Structures are given as structure tokens and as C-alpha cells.
Amino acid sequence: MTTELIHGTHSKESLGALIDLTRYPIDDSNHPVRTSIVESCRRQLVETGCARLECCLNPEAVLAMANEVDERLALVDRTADWQNPYLSDDDESLPSDHPVRRFHYRKNAFLCRDRFVEGDLMDRIFLLMELLKFVRDCLGLTQLYHYADPMSGYLINVQDDGETFPWHFDTNEFTISAMVQKPEGGGAFEYVPAIRNSESENYDAVAAVMDGERGNVIALPLEPGDLQIFKGRYSLHRVTEVKGQRPRYTAIFGYSEQPGVISNASRKLKLFGRCLDAHLEAETHRPVRADNLRD
């Protein structure tokens, strides 16, 4: 345990170096400002599947995070693949224009959790119990745990000039991400809220978006330091092509409603091109899903 920790929580000074506590008093569960932010987030999540916490991370911390990533760029796992919105295999029994059969090119890189060490800013922010409890409250959950995966518990998504992350659904119900570095151009986060639900894939609407239908597409403006809570299992989403020499860095922090959750090897190999022994072990267990949707 580090000296800054007192009974699992941080001193105001150490927490305030990472989070703007004046605007987001996440460490005081009775603070009326915290209560109203939590209520606003819950409302946004119901209405659009996404809540944006503007300038939640301190600018100095965000700059230092970007420097941490710069220093480790030689350690990124870079992969490219053709992927459909479900990150699944092709199904030749379906018509050729079916969304399951539409593959777009993805090329990007990840700086995984195992490339960071204890005390790094990414590690410190991820492990903040105050942040975990705040996110739990915003999601309206009674239990929330740190995602235990040794590679993707937290990570940085790195997108260089010309790279894109095409339309897809997430396997997990929600993600917490932070913009760490904006590119010179492009790299917009776009999503279509609740285009599918646990009962229906709504393939026609998914196909329409992939054909260019923009009616229900929301483009979320994200600035460095913004934190985003996003329900990505039911909302189709993508990052548009990045333009310019400065790469787009996004931090993704994983949380789970179950303790000890680790992803399996096949998904790790697809996204990162490598995995650890813990993922091979997880391959023998069936993933837990709250629905019967394609992944």
C-alpha cells in the first residue's frame, strides 16, 4: 500500500493532482455537486447511452499521461484486421449485404496494462477507489470491480495518421475512457445510441448506418481530460480516420460487475496479436453474457 492511501482512499492532495475535485468532488459521497453530477450522468446514460464528464482529469496529469505513452511507443501492440460490427467470423449462410458479412479495415495499436508499472499515472488513475465508486454510482450499480485482465484492465488506444476503428459493438456493457491526446484532425467518436437491445439485433438499422445513414448518429466532441462513460454493447460506434502527425491517444479503463474477470485468448490475439498464460486459462471458461446477442 502506498503512503498516500488511507483506508483505501486517497488524501485530497494526491487525488486532486489527478482529478479536478472542485468541479468533480468524487471523494465526498454526500456532496450536493457529486449527487447532481451522478443524477445527470444517469439521465444521459438512459437517454443516449453516453455520459461526458468534461475536463474531469487535471490538465497537468493528462500531459504527463501523454508523456508516459510517448516514452513507451516502442512497446505498443499494433494489429490490422478486417472486422465486422460483431468482431465475429463471416457467416456465408447470410445474404452478402447482411451486417455480419460487412468487413471494414481496422489498423491501430494498443499500449496494454502490462507495459505500465505500479505508480505510473495510468495505473494510479485506474486503481482510484474514489473513481470506481463514482463510476459505479453514475451507472446506477450496487457493485463494481476493477477489470482484472492483466493486458486490458486498462490500456491506451493509439491511432496514427490514416488509421480508423470501424463501426462495431463492444462485448462489455460499458467502458470508461479518457481523451489523452487529440490528433490534428479526424479521430471523431461517433455512435448510434441503443440501435440494438438484448432482444433484437435490429440488423436493418445497423446495415443502414453502415450504408451512410446519419439520422441517428451522434458525434461526441472529446477534449483532452474529458472522461466518457459509454454503453457500447447496444450502441454501434466507431472512430473516424485520424489525420495528421500527432497520434490520437485514448485511455480505456475497465470495470466489471463481477470480480476477477479476465478475457479469453482468442479475443486478445485478434486485437493485440499476443496473450498471456492467464488468457489461455480463461479460454476454457465460457464468457458470461447477459443476453444472446452476437458479440
Contacting residues toward Fe ion, per CB under 5 A: 170, 232
Write the CA distances from 139 to 142, 229, 239, 255, integer angstroms: 9, 8, 23, 11
Whichever of 183 and 232 has its CB closer to Fe ion, that residue is 232
The least distance separating Fe ion from the CB of residue 261, rounded to whole angstroms, comes to 17
The least distance separating Fe ion from the CB of residue 238, rounded to whole angstroms, comes to 8
Whichever of 31 and 104 has its CB closer to Fe ion, that residue is 104
Whichever of 58 and 172 has its CB closer to Fe ion, that residue is 172
CA 142/CA 123 separation, integer angstroms:
24
CA 268/CA 91 separation, integer angstroms:
22
The least distance separating Fe ion from the CB of residue 170, rounded to whole angstroms, comes to 4
Q: How far does CA 109 lie from the centroid of its chain?
A: 14
The least distance separating Fe ion from the CB of residue 291, rounded to whole angstroms, comes to 17
The least distance separating Fe ion from the CB of residue 237, rounded to whole angstroms, comes to 6
In the bound state, the residue with its beta carbon closest to Fe ion is: 170
The least distance separating Fe ion from the CB of residue 166, rounded to whole angstroms, comes to 10
Antiparallel, parallel or unpaired: β 242-243 and 145-146: unpaired
CA 50/CA 52 separation, integer angstroms:
7
Whichever of 120 and 295 has its CB closer to Fe ion, that residue is 295
CA 178/CA 174 separation, integer angstroms:
14
CA 154/CA 219 separation, integer angstroms:
24
CB atoms within 10 A of CB 25: 21
- Per DSSP, helices labelled H in the chain are 12-16, 32-48, 59-71, 121-126, 129-138, 203-210, 265-272, 277-282
CA 124/CA 130 separation, integer angstroms:
11
Strand order, beta sheet including 165-168 = 165-168, 236-239, 189-192, 218-220
DSSP-derived letter for residue 19 is B
The least distance separating Fe ion from the CB of residue 188, rounded to whole angstroms, comes to 14
